[in-house]
Amino acid sequence: MKGLHSSIRFVLVGLSNTALSLTVIWIALKVLGVSDLRANAIGYIVGFVWSFLLNRSWTFRHRGRLASGLVRFTVVCSAAYVANLLVLFFLLERFGGGAIWTQAVGMVVYTVVSYLGSRYFAFPRASAELAQ
């Protein structure tokens, strides 16, 4: 898998992240009985840690400073999470809560925003990092 393009590695990390996050969200919703929004937050916190570690080391092979990469990745994920929440709020208002598909739709939006932000801002290829 070493020779895979970064976009393919991102998709693979994203698929594993999605599976992990959806599993955590489902457990929170169905086993622990927490609200949709709380389940969503728990799932994304777990996914954030997983995604940062794999995307930094494997997907983008980022060699810049860990702290600055983490800060930029946090900004990217925050923007992606806000986009996800906007979609989730819209779907919950229209269709009600408790359906996993509403969470999945929000995840698609999150994925697009996080890829673009990660590729061009959080883990830039340039040898000189952004605003060290």
Contacts 24+ apart (CB under 8 A), 24-28: 25/100, 25/103, 26/100
Angle, vertex CA 47, rays to CA 46 and CA 50, nearest 5:
90
Looking at residue 25, its amino acid is I
Give per-residue pLDDT as tens, 51-97.
Answer: 999 999 999 999 999 899 999 999 998 999 899 999 999 999 999 88
Q: Identify the burial level of 83 via C-beta atoms within 10 angstroms of its C-beta, where 0-12 means exposed, 13-18 middle and 19 or more buried.
A: middle
Query: Higher pLDDT residue, 24 or 99?
Result: 24
- Per-residue pLDDT tens over the stretch 2-43: 678 887 899 899 899 989 999 999 999 999 999 999 999 999
Spell out the domain ranges in the chain. 6-122
* Burial group, residue 6, by CB count within 10 angstroms (0-12, 13-18, 19+): middle
User: pTM of the predicted model, to two decimals?
Assistant: 0.69
Q: Is 29 exposed, middle or buried (0-12, 13-18, 19+ CB in 10 A)?
A: buried
Asked if 46 and 95 touch (Cβ cutoff 8 Å), the reply is no
